[in-house]
Structure formats: structure tokens, C-alpha cells
Structure 1
Amino acid sequence: MVDLSAITGPVGRLVATAQNGLEVLRYGGLETGAVPSPFQIIESVPMYRLRRYFPPDSRPGAKPAGPPVLMVHPMMMSADMWDVTREDGAVGILHRAGIDPWVIDFGSPDKMEGGMQRTLADHIVALSAAIDTVKTVTGRDIHLAGYSQGGMFTYQTAAYRRTKDIASIVAFGAPVDTLAALPMNLPATLAPAAADFMADHVFSRIDIPGWLARTGFQMLDPIKTAQSRIDFLRQLHDREALLPREQQRKFLASEGWIAWSGPAISELLKQFIAHNRMMTGGFSIHGDLVTLSDIDCPVLAVIGEVDDIGQPASVRGIKRAAPKADVYEFLIRAGHFGLVVGSKASDQTWPTVADWVRWLDGGGSMPDGVSPMALQPTEASESGVTLTSRLAHSTAAATEMAFSLARSAADALVSANRSARTLAVETARTLPRLARLGQVNDHTRISLGRIMSEQARDFPQGEALLFDGRVHTYEAVDRRVNNVVRGLIEVGVRQGARVGVLMDTRPSALVAIAALSRLGAVAVMLPPDADLAAAVELAAVSEVIADPSSLDAARRLEMRVLVLGGGESRDLHVPADADVIDMERIDPDRVELPGWYRPNPGLARDLAFVAFSTVSGQLVARQITNFRWALSAFGTASAANLSRSDTVYCLTPLHHQSGLLVSLGGAVVGGARIALSRELRPDRFVQEIRQYGVTVVSYTWAMLREVIDDPAFSLTGNHPVRLFIGSGMPTGLWKRVVEVFEPANVVEFFATTDGQAVLANVKGAKIGSKGRPLPGGGEIALAAYDPEEDLILEDEQGFVRRADTNEVGVLLARPRGPVDPLASVKRGVFAPADTWVSTEYLFRRDEDGDYWLVDNRAAVIHTERGPVFAATVNDAAGRLGAVDMAVTYGVEVDGETIAVTALALHPGGSVPSADLSEALADLPVGEAPDLVHVVNDMTLTATYRPLAGPLQQQGIPKASRNAWYRDPDSTRYKRLTAAVRNEIAGNRS
């Protein structure tokens, strides 16, 4: 008897396969009979439509709606993702749990007028408006739920609103620390450059259509995509087996993908991949600067163990980025899409989200599986999803193993060469700068104005200037500079004129300095705390540019005052006959440029700026050429490795050489953003470094003591700072700064006022060292020196002898460019007819070639025991844990000099005698001080440099438990009693 089933079975399968396949070809899938969940359009505007699913019954006695959840889809996916299947979709499950589901639908931008010009910021502002609408309709705070990039939107919008009207955030696979773990294990060190390139040169010209978004998503996991297609084909004969997953398959295969506008992609790549500003802060939303550190509502991060797009290390970055928020996590063994759609999502994700909302709404307990997120390490990881997780997740074990083993081998190679790769990236940035600096000669056209013009030409929409929570592009700043140039021409300022700048640190001050540079005039940087009349006389100033707050001081100089800044509508309140010109009232479009004007005419040899310093109580004008400015600017950008990913916080006043040459110069050359602060305020410092995404902080001397010693100072969670750059930081304060701001480093500079000698401690490993010659700078040497006789030592041939290792020497520099008329020039130093400039500073060079400041040649304290070098003593004392600052000075008693060191301690600090003796026992050069005492405070200059003069005037310190003398017999420090003090004073009186 013939078994007919053996024949009919295969034939039936073949027929069913053909029928189902034909249906798929004709209609894109199998007809499931599914109907979407009901929703009402509450708001419809060009940017979005706001859906309310399962709108509540408005009749009297109807059950009120539950807490609202507003769900946000990523830009490349349709908003229908929340309702792929009515029974198992997000909106259906939440509704049955008593939640009020809302969905924002950004639509298909390629089908809307102007849709393909949408930016990332447009979406965030739109989501913020939708939150306002939901709040108005429901009267309740909103729980934001976002998937993938939609989760990023929820974080960014919450920060933009400072969590106003937001009850909580639920983010599914939403990357925050995008460089911690990139998809497909792309190396984090190369990603910023690649993202910048793609943003500037690819997506500035093209968009991504829906089919390409789908293809790109599938290519991120090609094995799983191929497996799903094979499984579908193998089961094509079994309609009943396919139907439960058919809606999801059709969504992923075709229906769920929409176009993605190029400007939005560019902004995503620039702000959140190239610059990782979800972590650092300082991302721009239509000109407003935003930071995730402003989020203070509860956060639930839903994490997929095998999610290779929103990788766990990246998603968990929210814990560090939002230190004020209570952050929780829910870990699910799923891939990226499986977090929100599919069986695991319906069984685990959405019931947990419903429980989360009820818990926060006061109607339940913390959901099972939800736990507080632990703080993750700050180091970036490139390991991605582990091999074990991949193998366990995939059904194609052999294929997955081969794929993952190959990737693991690549990871090992990447890890082994990570330092070389980082060096290559830094070298690619640094070498062109050094090469350009090396090509500069007297006739090279180079200036601040010229570099700013180049940046505006190359990166017109690049972010240049941050101030008062707003961002200004290079194009906008450059346009403002050109307008001020026209105003200066209109009032008669010509190339070569010396114009005083008396302005607070603000955008108008930066613009004024740049405009004078572009005009070819000389900006004379007037320090507000100095004798202004003496300063303008020394520098031969013809007129002064002032801001409104400095107008009264400027008018007392009895010369023409040009007022810039503050807007056109302000009233300056000056007499009609006053020699004051309001620059804001000049219409630049009506100014005809004269024939002599050429923008940025400055040559390297030309005088660009005049700054001031005080030497022995006398005001001294320091001339700064364009070459001197370029040397510091290019050197700083190279030493600090500044790039477009950096934001330089310019705390240093622009009238100070460090602010002008290091902060402003380095940022402009490096293409970094410049964040200006009105003043140093400890209560504003932490807020601004997070709001602006500050990566580099400038300082002078003990400036940062004002911040970290303030009782209100608190630094919790993540901070974006990687470097502090400046000069003069005391070693004790330096040590505390790197401890408080770990893992940030300090790059300490030393530069003579004429710029002939520039040193930089780039590595920061040796606290207190001035480092080595700045790349691209001039040649330096140490001339052997006898401090007792104040003589530079010579060899048998009569040439100057070079100082040996750890021997005190005078720092000499081989001049490059014009030599300051006040400089000490020496010839025939190391060879016949050679020329060197003496800096008059004493240094020693250690075994590794690093330079340490010893003292100023004229300031050496000569005691009976031998010379005491102030800087050496201060460095040694500063290594005591309690010491912030140390100042060493000489006190004359009956014709003899004793050396005294004053210590300023950080709050709560104390110095045991034994520790003091140990710290000062083995100075590398010179003698230890005779007396040491603790002072409550020190007098600081406007640039936070501690002054010895006020302490010297007090003479021998009083006896106290915080004063010590050096016992000549034991060479140890003992408590200074009244009897010992009287003996010291009596023996010398």
C-alpha cells in the first residue's frame, strides 16, 4: 500500500511556500489582520505630531488616566515602533498597566517641506514643546522614555529644560559616553577625527534615505540579519509559525525606517561622537549651552547585555554625566532592537517600565531587577560586547565564534598599538603647527587677527566663543571683528597706532584685541589695578578702548575714549562735551574702507601688543611682537595638544600675558572653543565647566586656591577637565589640584617676557618642574653661576662654562627675532661672536633634562650660612600635604639677613615639626630658611601671585605654635618660643 502522505506532504509544503512567498513579494509580507492601537492627535505642527494612545473617556465617572509616559523614537525609525503589535507593543502593555501612553512622531522628513534641513537641536526643542503640551493636557509631570537616539534626545531635552515637568527618564540602549565603547569595536582614538571628517565633508552634502538607514542598521549585526532571513525562508511554508513575528519582521525589513537629514547627522557626529559632549557638557541647542549635569530627576537605563550599538559601557556613562540624578539600571539579555520590541521586551522590559512609573508615582515598590547603577571607571574601553555574550546569544555558534575570534584578535592588535595610534593622532595635529612656526621669519605675515580669519574661513560654523551660556560661531565672531575694524577706521585709528585696551574679560574685549590686530594697530593691554596714567605714558597710547564698566576710569586719563560693548541701546551717561565715542552707534555698512587698508598686515617682526609687569615696584612695559605671540600660541596648542574637541576656560584676565599668549593664543591656533568667564567665582566655577564642557582651564599662580579652598566647593561625579594650563602654580596647590580633579593634569609654562625662553612641563609627572624647552621655541642653555659672587663662570678659554647636572646656572636664550631693548645681551658666550640673551633667572637641570626654577638672580637671599633660593625652598615646603602656598623672603636684622618662609595652609591643615624638618632637610641647591611660620593669608596681586613685601614689612615672625626656627646644632626645626625669638632679635640688635 502506498503512503500518500510521503507524496502529499512535500507537495503541500511546496504549494504553501509558493503561496506565502507570492504574498510576500506582492505585499511586502504576510497579512496578519493586526490593527493598530487607537490614538488621538493632540497636536500637529510642522516638526511633529503628538499622539495620545487609548485616549481616556471624557464622560463623567470614567476612570481617570494614569501617569503620562511620552515615548521618543530615534530619527531613522518610525514612531510606529511603539505599536508594532497591539497586544505585545509598548503602548498596549503600558495602557493595560494603567499608564497613559503618549508618542511624539517626527514624521518622515523627506516627505515634509524643509524636513531634510532639520538639525538635531530642532528635535530637542520640539520634544521640549511636546512636554509642555502633555503637561498642559494632563496636569502631571511626564515620564520620558526614549529608545537609542530617542533616549539621547530624552537626556538632552531634560538637560535643556533642567528637568522642568519631568518625573523621570527611561532610556533604552541610549549611548552617553559614546567613546567608551563604539559599535563594531571601532577604536575610540580614531573616532573623533573620522566623525569630524564625515560631518564636515560627507553629511554636509548628503542625507540618508530610509532604505540606507535600514541597511546600515542591519550591517551592524550582519550575522543576525542573515540568520533571521534564512529562518524566515525555512519556515515560509508554515504560515501559523510566521504570523506571531510577522509584524516585527515587516517593521525591520521595510516599514520601520525613515530618512535622516544630513544636518542632523552632522550635528550628532560633531557634538556627541567627535566631541563626546554628552559626557563633557557644553553642547549647543540653538546657541544655548547645555550639560547633562543639570539633570536631577530619577533615571532608569535599560541595558542590553549583547547590545553592540548602545553598548553597556557607553550607556552607563549617564551615571558620571549626571551626578545629581539618582540613576538606576535594568539589565536584560537582549540585543539593541530586542530591548523595546519582541518577546523579551513584552515579557520583561515593558512590565518593568510600568512598575517603575508606578513606583515613582507612589503606588508600588522598586521593580524587580532594577538596581542603583554603580559608578563606572572613567577610562575609555574598546572591548565592546564580550565574546562569551555573543556566543551565548547567537544560535549560529560556529559562525559567531569565528566572527568573534577574528574581532578579538583585532582587539588584541588594537590594544597593543593603542599608544602608538594615540601618538600618531597627536603627531598629525602637532607637526603642521611646529612646521608653520619653524617657517616664520621677520617678513612672515602672522598675527592673532590672521589666525582668526583662517579659522573663520575654514570652519565658519565651528563654535568659537562661549559666554553667559551662549555660543558664537567663528563666522559670527569674525563678522563682529570686521565690523569693529570698520568702526576704528571711521574714528581715525590707523595701522601702527597704539591703542589702550581697558576692558573686563568679555567677548567685546576679545573682539577689540582681534580687531586691532587685524587693522595692524598695537593693543596696549592696560591692567586695571596698575597706575593707568603711568601705563599709557610708558606705552605712548593715543586713545583708549573701554567697556561701559571701565568708562569712568578711562575718562580720567584725559584722552579720547572709544566705548565698545553693551549693545546699542545702553546709555553711557557722559557729558555732551566729553571726548567719548560710542562705537556701537557706528554703522559698519556705511564705512568706506580707505585705500591703505589691508586686513591682517602684521609681520612677525611687528609690534603687536604691549603688556605690563612690575619689577622692584616699578611698572615696566613689555613689548610683544607677532612672532612672540605666535611662539606662545603655537607652542601652547602643541604642548597641550589642543584641538576642536577642547574648550579652553579663560579664567586669566586678557590683559595678563598668560591670558593673551597662552589661553587665547593657544585656543585660537588649536581651533578650540574659548569660554570666557566674567570673573573667578568659586560658586560659578563647577557650574560653568560643566555647562561649557570645559576640557582645559587656564590659571595664573594661586588662582585655583580660590576655588578648591572655598567652603562651598564640591566636585561630585563626572567633570570634563583634562588639563590646567598656566604658570606659577605653587607645588602644594598643584598637588591638590591634580588630586581633586583626577585624572586631569597640569601643564606648567615658564616664559620670559620677551619670549626668547619658553619652557613647558607637558607630562606633569614632576610637580614643580618647569619642564623642557617648548617645541618650536628657541635654543636655551644654562651658564654656570657663582651665587656668592653673583658671577657667571668661565672656562680656561674664557668662554662661559655650561652648568653641570643639578648645578645652579643662569638661563640663557639664543635670540630669535627682535630683542627687547631692556634685555641683557651677551656676545662671545660659548663661541666667538655668538649672541645670547640672559633671562636673569637661575635654574638647575636634573638628570632627566627637566628644568627647575631656582630664583631670580637679583632676589637670592644671602645669609651667613650661604645663599637661600626662594623658589627651591617654596617647592620643597609646598610638598607638605597641608601647604597650599609658600613664600620665602629676606629680613634685615642689624645689617644681616635671615631667610624666612611663610606658609599658607589649606583649610584644616597643620604642619608637624618633624615633617617640616624632613621636607627642608635635603634641598637640591642652596640653604634652608632660618625661620618658618604659618600665616592666615597672603597678599595676592590681581593675577594671584603671592607678594613677599607685606610679609617682609612685619619683620621677624611672632612666637607661636605655628612658627619654627632652624636649630643650628641639629639642623632640625623646633617651635619658635618668645625666648628664642628675643634671642634671635637680640643677637642681631
Structure 2
Amino acid sequence: MMELFIISVVIASLLIIPFGIKTFRPYLWMDIVYFGVLLRILAKFVSRRRRRPLFFVLDRFLEQCAARPDKTFVVFDGESHSFARADARSNKVANALRTRPGFEAGDTVALFMGNEPAFLFTWLALAKLGSPSALLNHNIRGKSLLHCFSCCRARVLIAAAELKDAVEDVLPSLIQQGVTVLLMTKHCDAPGIESFSDKVDEASDARLPRSLRSHVTFKSPAVYIYTSGTTGLPKAAVVNQNRLLTALAILSSNGVTPSDVIYLNLPLYHTAGFLIGFIGSIETGSTIILKRKFSASQFWDDCRKYSVTVIQYIGEVMRYLCSTPGRENDKDHKVRLAIGNGIRADIWREFLSRFGNVQVQEFYASTEGNVGFVNYAGRIGAIGRVNFLHRKFFPYTLIKYDTERDEPVRDANGLCVESPKGETGLLVSRITDIAPFVGYAENEEQTERKRLRDVLKKGDLYFNSGDLMRIDEDNFIYFQDRVGDTFRWKGENVATTEVSDILTISDCLEEANVYGVQVPGHEGRVGMAAITVMEGAEFDGRKIYNHVVSHLPSYARPRFIRTQNAVEVTGTFKQMKMKLVEESFDPGRIADSLYILDDNEKSYMPLTAQIYCSIVSGNIKL
């Protein structure tokens, strides 16, 4: 009888325990699997760090070339490039560059190019030469372009042929600095600019000796990726070789394999396109379908044409896809995984409903940051899931933040106050050897502004993410908003001070207070400026339009302008934005004159109540 009772208890336990786990710990199995993934990544990383000679991302590429030389690595405009061909072409670029006067292996080189195979081959060539690469946004011009080039101390600028005019605008300054300027064309008659494609075609494809990069260590800069900052001009975040090595794991940790085909239409000068799409594919040996830019109308046709299995996104990409007219074949594709960040919960649901059973892998990370999260459990709307193991390796917390004073809340002892679960707080992550913060090139002031001291105890040091987060009772973390003087629009960070500076160098504006406002149906915040006109001058919408188009990329141009008699400032002369942000661009709440950027009229035109209603209702898209 006792044996029967024991057997009954065991059977009941076997039945009840899984039910109890599913009821009270529904994410336990997912957590365990994720822990396993983290441990495998860590083990592989440690193993690679111990290899001699030192092992870098380039070495992983060379391994892929040896293992699968004939496999297609990149497809662009219908032309395929195998791993072996990419290797040979990058050798030709490197050998051609070695013959250029003024260049030595190890010198920093700036790449001013759009999405094309030459970008990838040139980066590989520079890696073989032990030269860091500065990835310039091909939309920037004038002062911003010159700043981005100069702050990384580059000795050479390699530009795409179609960007010749932009290069010529800053050429006198480059020549004065003794910079070698190479244009990816076979012929160039512009003084001070040398054609480069012809030199590459004529160069040898012989392998480069490892000795050329013998000076490179894990702490050496590998890539400079630019991010907007509150000072107005972009900051060059330093991505060293160690961080680049960790980036290899991003795609593989999400189950991407050599058999996958990845659709890469995000800019290669961005973290997402470069680190995840390109560097991630070097690790997995996957095939990249490279596009010059994102096109919602071509997206799914391309996915079907090339049998794409993995796509990348930022929030806007998903919204644009969901905004296209529905088709009967919307679910006729082989895409199984979408990896990215910034997707809204409602767009997430709409995407799944319309395009089928695609695993959406949302994550959180920043170019220069030292902490990230992965929503491995698939909770719609969350950017990740927090757990004790992750926090052990990357100590982070949410602290209370005073948005009015634009600073963390501190207690009587001068320490920060942690936000309770469920409440919004500023994400900060402790700076350690495992989770370092390298900072920005030639910008110690901005680097220091990202360091937060005396957070939980005297003398500690944390990285200030600038992002407000919230953790719910199920340990999912949600992005709430950004702090400071930047906002995000069209997948780009916009620095308000930079836009303000551009506006005020026009010959009719006295002051400009730039901020981002939310628009129904759109991700992020669109640019708006409250301006004052110079005494004796009048607001000229056409002149201001021509000015911003000439000096700012499309995503940074203020969509709305509000004229004021005076820009409001605080007692410490900081421009006041919160009231302006709350009033947004609603003519019903604003007595000041309002204008909207009109590309058809090539002017800033009066913003009427009718236009406002059309924007809010979604009839007019920005």
C-alpha cells in the first residue's frame, strides 16, 4: 500500500510540477536556454581571446574564405561576390592603397561611401593593413563632414564617385591638412582628388603579410561610428577590436547559420548595418543581399527573389512595410527571423498579422554603450528581459531622473536613487573590465558627460545611457524615452544644437530652439524649431527652405517652424523646451505663426488647421 502511495505521489508530482512551472514561472525554460546561449558565447569569446597570434574579426573572415571560398558572400544589383572574390578584391584595394603617397599601414582612413560592395571590400582591406576605419554618414555635408573626418585624425579619405561634389566643398581644408583624397572612379580631373578604382583594378591580389597589422591589439581602434550628441556635431564612438570581436556573436546567437540569406538595406555607416548585418554575417558565413537603401515597395519582392530568410529592421522599417498596400502574396516568402530594435507594440502585432509567422527578435544596444538586452521571450513591446546572470556580468540599474532639471535624483548622501520595479528610470550600467566604456575620439568632454559617478556608492563609475526605461513585474524591460538634447527620427539621432546652429547662420534668423515632437502614426519625434527673426527682417519661407536643404540631411530638417518674439530661457540661460514639446504643432493651441516644410513648393508654407488635421488623421505622411 505504501509503495502504491509513493508511486502515486511521484506521478502526481511529475504532472503538477510542469503545470506549476508553466503557471508561476512561465519563462523559466526560455531563461535557461538563454543562459546556455550566453555561456556558449562567453566560452567562444574567451577561447578566441586566448589564441595566438591574436584573433580578430578579419581572421574569422579568412577562416570563412578557406572553408567556403566559392560560397556567395554578397549579392548587389544582381552581381554575386563569393568569399574568395571578396578576399581577392580586398587584397587589390589594400595593395593599391599601400602605393599611395602619404599612407602607411596603420593610418586611420575615412570611408565616405554608400551601401555597395566596395564599402565592404575597402573595410576588409583596411583591416588587413591594420588601419582603423571611420565610417562617415554619406548624407552629411560641409562643417559636419569636415568635423567627422578630422576628429578621428584620418590621413586618407576614400569617397564614392557620386559624392565628389560633397568632397569638393571641403577640399581646401583637406588639402591644408595634407589629406590624401581618393575617389572610387577610374578617372578624375579635379585637382587635389585622385582616382582610385583604376589603381585597384591594376593592383595585385596577393595576400597581405600579417606583419602589417602586428601592432594591433584588442584595445586598438577598429572602427569609428558616429552618433549625434548634445554639442551639435556628431561624436565618433570608438569601437575597438575587442568590441568588434564580441559583435561576431550577434547573428549566431539568434540561430543564424551559413544557410541563411540576410537582407541588408540599412546604412553600413550605422551600427545596425555594419556590426549586425556585415560583421555578424562574417561569423555565420551567411549570404548578404546588399541594397543601396531601404525601399518599402521593393522589400518583399526582393525577399522572394533572393529567398531571404533573415531581415534587419529599425522601427520605421516595420511601419513603412505595414503602410504599403496589402497584397495576396504578403505571406508568400521564406523570411523566418526579423532582428532589430525600435518596433512599437502595435506595429509588431500588425506585422505578424499581415506577413505571417516571422520571429521578431527585438534587442536594445547603443554604439558606445556597455550594456544591452535581448527580448528572447518574444514579449511584444519589450526591448528585452532582465535576469540575474545577465546582471551579474553587466551590472546595471534604473535610477530616478528629474526630467525638468535634466539630471539624476540624488539622496541626502549624494547617491542616486534606484527606481522601484514598474517605475520609469534612467538606465545606467557600471563600467568594468568586462563592460568597458571606451568613449569618443578627440572628445573628452562628451566622454566624461557619459560617465556617472557616485551612483550606488561613493567612488563607483557608471555609463549614462541617456535612455529612460521601465521594468515590469515579469522582468521585461521597456524603452520609454530619451533624455537630453537629442531625438530620433527616420532611424537617425538628431542633435538639436546642431540643427539650431545651422538655422542661426542664415541671414534672417536671430535664435532657434529646436526640439522633437510626436506625430500620430510615426516612430520617434519629428524636428520642430521655435525661431525669432532678426530685427528689421521678415520670415522668408523659401529662403529658409533652401538654407536647411543645403546644410542638413533630410531627417534633420525641421518639419515645423514656429515664430516667436523671443526664445524662452531658464535662469541659467538654457532654452526651455518642455512647454513647446507639449504644445507640439497644433494651431489650435498656438497663437504664434506656424509653418510646415513643403518639398513640392520648396518653401516653408503656413500650417493651417486643415493641414494639421490631415497629418493627425494620417492622410498626410511625414
TM-score (norm 1): 0.43
Cα distance in 2 between the residues matched to 1:670 and 1:598:
24
Q: Deviations over 1:307-343 (max 9, x none)?
A: xxxxxxxxxxxxxxxxxxxxxxxxxxxxxxxxxxxxx
* 1:819 partnered with 2:438: yes
Consecutive unaligned residues in structure 2, runs of 5 or more: 1-26, 172-178, 497-513, 524-547, 564-583, 590-607, 614-622
* 1:544 partnered with 2:153: no
Q: Deviations over 1:233-264 (max 9, x none)?
A: xxxxxxxxxxxxxxxxxxxxxxxxxxxxxxxx
Give the corresponding residue for 1:435: 43
* 1:620 partnered with 2:246: no
Contact in 2 for aligned 1:724/1:744 (Cα 8 Å): yes
Q: How much does 1:949 deviate?
A: 4.4
Which residues of 2 match residues 314-333 of structure 1 at below 5 A?
none
Cα distance in 1 between the residues matched to 2:237 and 2:515:
33
Question: Residue 64 of structure 2: which of 445, 455, 466 is its match?
Answer: 455
Give the corresponding residue for 1:763: 377
Question: Residue 785 of structure 1: which of 398, 401, 404 is its match?
Answer: 401
Classify 1:949/1:479 alpha carbon distance in 2 versus 1 (closer, same or farther; 3 Å): same
What do you get for the CA RMSD once the two structures are aligned?
Answer: 4.4
Consecutive unaligned residues in structure 1, runs of 5 or more: 1-418, 565-569, 861-869, 875-883, 890-896, 907-938, 961-975, 982-989
Question: Residue 588 of structure 1: which of 194, 204, 218 is its match?
Answer: 204
Contact in 2 for aligned 1:701/1:945 (Cα 8 Å): no
* 1:528 partnered with 2:138: yes
Letter in 2 for 1:480: R
Contact in 2 for aligned 1:702/1:733 (Cα 8 Å): no
Question: Residue 88 of structure 2: which of 479, 502, 519 is its match?
Answer: 479
Give the corresponding residue for 1:488: 97
Question: Residue 252 of structure 2: which of 626, 633, 637 is its match?
Answer: 637
Cα distance in 2 between the residues matched to 1:898 and 1:499:
34
Secondary structure of 1:618 counterpart: coil
Which residues of 2 match residues 885-924 of structure 1 at below 5 A?
901-904=518-521
Classify 1:903/1:480 alpha carbon distance in 2 versus 1 (closer, same or farther; 3 Å): same
Q: How much does 1:775 deviate?
A: 6.6
* 1:509 partnered with 2:119: yes
Q: How much does 1:828 deviate?
A: 4.0
Q: Deviations over 1:869-890 (max 9, x none)?
A: x99xx9xxxxxxxxx9xx9x9x
* 1:855 partnered with 2:472: no
Contact in 2 for aligned 1:498/1:521 (Cα 8 Å): yes
Contact in 2 for aligned 1:782/1:802 (Cα 8 Å): yes
Give the corresponding residue for 1:957: 586
Contact in 2 for aligned 1:430/1:641 (Cα 8 Å): no
Q: Deviations over 1:425-474 (max 9, x none)?
A: 99988754332335676999454322211222333333322223344332
Contact in 2 for aligned 1:735/1:767 (Cα 8 Å): no
Contact in 2 for aligned 1:686/1:715 (Cα 8 Å): no
Letter in 2 for 1:550: L
State which drifts further: 944-953 or 457-466: 944-953
Letter in 2 for 1:474: F
Percent identity between matched residues is 22
Give the corresponding residue for 2:351: 737
Contact in 2 for aligned 1:644/1:671 (Cα 8 Å): yes
Q: How much does 1:977 deviate?
A: 9.1
Q: Deviations over 1:581-622 (max 9, x none)?
A: 343243215x796795247x6432111111222234432222
Question: Residue 840 of structure 1: which of 466, 491, 496 is its match?
Answer: 466
Give the corresponding residue for 1:694: 308
Classify 1:455/1:522 alpha carbon distance in 2 versus 1 (closer, same or farther; 3 Å): same
Classify 1:799/1:657 alpha carbon distance in 2 versus 1 (closer, same or farther; 3 Å): same
Cα distance in 2 between the residues matched to 1:420 and 1:572:
62
Classify 1:548/1:977 alpha carbon distance in 2 versus 1 (closer, same or farther; 3 Å): closer
* 1:830 partnered with 2:432: no
Secondary structure of 1:782 counterpart: strand
Q: Deviations over 1:472-512 (max 9, x none)?
A: 33222222222322222222533431211112211111111
Give the corresponding residue for 1:97: none
Letter in 2 for 1:561: V
Classify 1:478/1:755 alpha carbon distance in 2 versus 1 (closer, same or farther; 3 Å): farther
Which residues of 2 match residues 673-688 of structure 1 at below 5 A?
673-688=287-302
Q: How much does 1:652 deviate?
A: 0.5
Give the corresponding residue for 1:728: 342
Letter in 1 for 2:519: A
Question: Residue 181 of structure 2: which of 561, 577, 599 is its match?
Answer: 561
Cα distance in 1 between the residues matched to 2:452 and 2:370:
14
Secondary structure of 2:519 counterpart: strand
Q: Deviations over 1:811-848 (max 9, x none)?
A: 11122345314333234433454322222222111112
Secondary structure of 1:703 counterpart: helix
Classify 1:448/1:555 alpha carbon distance in 2 versus 1 (closer, same or farther; 3 Å): farther
| Corresponding pairs, count | 476
Classify 1:679/1:808 alpha carbon distance in 2 versus 1 (closer, same or farther; 3 Å): closer
Give the corresponding residue for 2:419: 803
Classify 1:842/1:948 alpha carbon distance in 2 versus 1 (closer, same or farther; 3 Å): farther
The higher-RCO structure (CA 8 Å, 6+ apart) is 2
Cα distance in 1 between the residues matched to 2:248 and 2:516:
38
Give the corresponding residue for 1:667: 281
Cα distance in 1 between the residues matched to 2:437 and 2:226:
18
Contact in 2 for aligned 1:649/1:674 (Cα 8 Å): yes
Question: Residue 597 of structure 1: which of 212, 215, 223 is its match?
Answer: 212
Contact in 1 for aligned 2:471/2:478 (Cα 8 Å): yes
State which drifts further: 800-809 or 424-433: 424-433
Q: How much does 1:742 deviate?
A: 1.5
Cα distance in 2 between the residues matched to 1:476 and 1:489:
20
Cα distance in 1 between the residues matched to 2:374 and 2:557:
25
Give the corresponding residue for 2:108: 498
Classify 1:555/1:585 alpha carbon distance in 2 versus 1 (closer, same or farther; 3 Å): farther
TM-score (norm 2): 0.65
Secondary structure of 1:764 counterpart: coil
Contact in 2 for aligned 1:443/1:603 (Cα 8 Å): no
Letter in 2 for 1:584: V
Letter in 2 for 1:819: V
Cα distance in 2 between the residues matched to 1:948 and 1:573:
32
Contact in 1 for aligned 2:73/2:83 (Cα 8 Å): yes
Q: Deviations over 1:49-74 (max 9, x none)?
A: xxxxxxxxxxxxxxxxxxxxxxxxxx
Secondary structure of 2:91 counterpart: helix
Cα distance in 1 between the residues matched to 2:557 and 2:520:
12
Cα distance in 2 between the residues matched to 1:626 and 1:947:
31
Letter in 2 for 1:950: R
Letter in 2 for 1:501: L
Secondary structure of 2:400 counterpart: strand
Cα distance in 2 between the residues matched to 1:603 and 1:810:
34
Cα distance in 2 between the residues matched to 1:945 and 1:577:
29
